[in-house]
Amino acid sequence: MIVAMEGGATHTRAGLYADDGTLLAEAESGPSNPVASSPETAALTLVELARRVLAGQESGPVQLWAGLAGAGSPTVQASMAESVGHALGAASVHVTTDLHPILFANAGPGSGVLVIAGTGSSVIAKNRQAKVLRIGGRGALFGDDGSAYRVAVEALRACAAMVDGLGPDTGLLEQLPPAAGLNSFEEFVLWSGSADKRAVAALARTVAAVADAGDFVARACLDDQARRLAAQAVAAVERLQLGEGARLFLHGSLLTECEHFRAAFRESVDQYIEAQFVECRQVGHQAVYAAFSEAPPKVDWAYIWEPAAEGFSRALSSPTETKLAVTQTLDQLDALGIVRLMNRLDASLPAVLAAQESVISQAVNAAAKAISNGGRIVYLGAGTSGRLGVLDASECPPTFGVPPDRVIGLIAGGETALRQSIEGEEDNCAAGVADLDALQPTPKDFIVGIAASGSTPYVGAALERAKECGSTTAFVCCNPSPSARADIMICLATGPEALTGSTRLRAGTATKMVLNIISTGAMALSGYVYQGLMVEMKPSNAKLRLRAARIVDSIAGTGQEKAGALLASADWSIPTAIVMALRQVDACAARKLLEEGGGRLKSVIFACT
């Protein structure tokens, strides 16, 4: 079987193809542009998506073919292909850019020029000898001529010129702010500091609409960028000597959806060469499949990885054990340098989690199902990973009011290991099984293994035991090719640490972020949160009692003084106090209403309305 993928900075789409070319399944995931995130993060997106599209299929040799925006560097292609290949145990992995497959799939053995004008822009051409030439497509810093991003930027500049009295009037000044969710043009200054390329490019649709209404400034923005893109296409035809009647394959929203831009582009091309304008019939993962299936065994426009005979089954060492590639290590920096290095490394973690959002959401749903059905969430790990699980479990009772036996943390070596290092216990498979057996796991439970390396024996053995008991399992690790397996695999591309091998740093921070999401999401879905408030919290001290009063006041509108009195008469039960206020009943009646509503405040409040 073959998994073909097409991806970029916003999404990745995959198709599973049988050997005869039949499309068997499709799936979609998050971004996989290695420049926008990192090669490691992008590789994990491919691995997670491949596992999803392969789920339920008969096992057998799998090839993975990927066309990715940002994967133009041979070094990046090789790194991603190797990581994905080992993680999936694939027969081969092909990685190239997102442009080559579309060009080769649509042009076939003949010559042609692919012209793309979407969020970004690029021109790539080939002759009959398969010689490839690429023009443009170097991103926003180098101009991205002919892209929606560049159209939007020029429109914003035209508005600024009008405001400053340096340019003509334009309807863009009125239309662009609301298109970005802003109240005035001046708000664009602050907005531009956080808006990504896609958000800016989205404004091109408004520019097109204003142009269609007859605004000559908006039209000029489109015309200028269309001419610049046309110049690139003409240069490609001339440099490869494709001759008269060269085929230009048009792709991207500006060329396929904006009639004014398309017409201006064609008119500009026609001034210099005679060309055929052709729609791209094959795009996405279909183009990736078609291009590679028709290509010779070896091509110079893609990196092809195949496992060495002696290394097919070997697992990659954990990235956390790899030395960080920096010019100065921690001990060579001053205090400010250390802060800047570690802060810069941690700043990459949100993108690491973003690449795994869909699989993390599976864990949230599984955890919520366990809590709602009377089951338990059980974390288990060794060392730092174990301590993180115990920490998250111990925070759930005071935060959400669940009994301590509903969210449990197990650590190799027991409670002593919370304060003292007993690292040798992580190799004890029997202890992992015994610790889990002591809880008598059932199919209602959700068992979450945690191991930064992806290979801790204590955790792996416990997960296998959990599967035997019918429990749903998840595994949180920081290795794209872990040896332990679970129903839900959350592999975080945290990469090397500032202090090599110290997984309490980036790996630990990312893991804690994931556990925060799992437990909080599970409790929110199970009714332990209302309007973003901790309505099941136990007010066990003065600070928390003040917080409880604020919560009651926020939901029931009682005022904090009355809220405090209601809480006191409700034995400091926040849900009971709220129901007393909303239903105008005493504590006994409020408790009965809550019991009838399954113990959850939300159901009683909805009944009130």
Active site residues: 395, 426
Single-letter amino acid, residue 548? A
Single-letter amino acid, residue 52? R
- Strand-strand pairing, 377-381 and 446-450: parallel
204, 254 Cβ separation under 8 angstroms: yes
Single-letter amino acid, residue 113? V
HEC per residue, 340-402: HHHHHHHCCHHHHHHCCHHHHHHHHHHHHHHHHCCCCEEEEECHHHHHHHHHHHHHHHHHHCC
Distance, CA of 41 to CA of 34 (rounded, Å): 7
Q: Residue 609 burial (CB < 10 Å; 0-12/13-18/19+)?
A: exposed
Q: CA Rg, the chain, in Å? A: 29
CA angle 195, 532, 581 (to 5 degrees): 145
262-289: b (≥16 Cβ within 10 Å) or e: bebbbebbeeebebeeeebebbbbbbbb
149, 120 Cβ separation under 8 angstroms: yes
What is the CB neighbour count within 10 angstroms for residue 339?
Answer: 11
Distance, CA of 114 to CA of 127 (rounded, Å): 12
Q: Evaluate the CA torsion angle 331, 334, 335, 338 in order and state its sign.
A: negative
Backbone torsion region of residue 162, taken as left when φ is above 0, otherwise alpha when ψ lies between -120 and 50, otherwise beta: alpha
DSSP H or E run through 296: none
